[in-house]
Chain A
Amino acid sequence: GPKVLQIPSHQIIDMGQMVTLNCDPVSNHLYFYWYKQILGQQMEFLVNFYNGKVMEKSKLFKDQFSVERPDGSYFTLKIQPTALEDSAVYFCASSFLGGGEQYFGPGTRLTVL
C-alpha cells in the first residue's frame, strides 16, 4: 500500500541545537501532518500543512517549530532551538483529503540531551 517515509529513524542531539526531521509523503497526497508521541502514549497533533501553508496548529507547536515543503521535496519539521521536552517520537502523516484517511510514517525518535 501507500507508504510514508521518514528520515532519520533516530536522532540524538544536544539541547539548544537545531534539528530537521524529514518526511516523504505519499506521492499524490495533498495534506501533511506532524504528530508527537511520548513513550507510546497519546498521539498529539502538532500541525497540518496544505498548499504551502500551515492550516492549523496546536499549542504544542511552539515558536521554535517550523514546517515547510519546498518544491515538492521533503515535508520537514524544524525545531530551533531544541529543548529537553522535545524528546519524543515524531510521526509524519499524509492524506489526499483534509481530515481524511491518513497514512503514517514509521516515526523519528528524537532524543534531546
Chain B
Amino acid sequence: GNSVTQMEGPVTLSEEAFLTINCTYTATGYPSLFWYVQYPGEGLQLLLKATKADDKGSNKGFEATYRKETTSFHLEKGSVQVSDSAVYFCALSSSGNTGKLIFGQGTTLQVKP
C-alpha cells in the first residue's frame, strides 16, 4: 500500500542553519506530494506541494523537489529562523484516489536563537 516515511526527530538547529528533512514515499501511479506544517497550538496548514516528477514546490523560503527516481520529496531551507519551529509532515495523495492524504509520522523542528 501507499506510505510515507520521514526522518526521525526532533531536529534541533541554530538560527540561520541549513535545514533538510528527508521524506521518501511508496505509491502506485503518480501521487501528488505535500509538506504540511503544524505550528504550536495551531492546525495543520499546507506549506508547499508538487504534482508531478521534477516539479519544485516552494513557499516561505522552503523548497522540495519531486524526485520520482528516488521516490523522495525532501524539505530544505537555506536559513532557518526561530519562527520555523514546528512539526513538519510529508504527505501524498495518490492519483485516481479519492483525494485522501497519507501522512508521514512528522518531524519536530526546534530552532534556537
Tell me if chain B binds chain A: no
Name A residues whose Cβ lies closer than 8 Å to a Cβ of B.
none
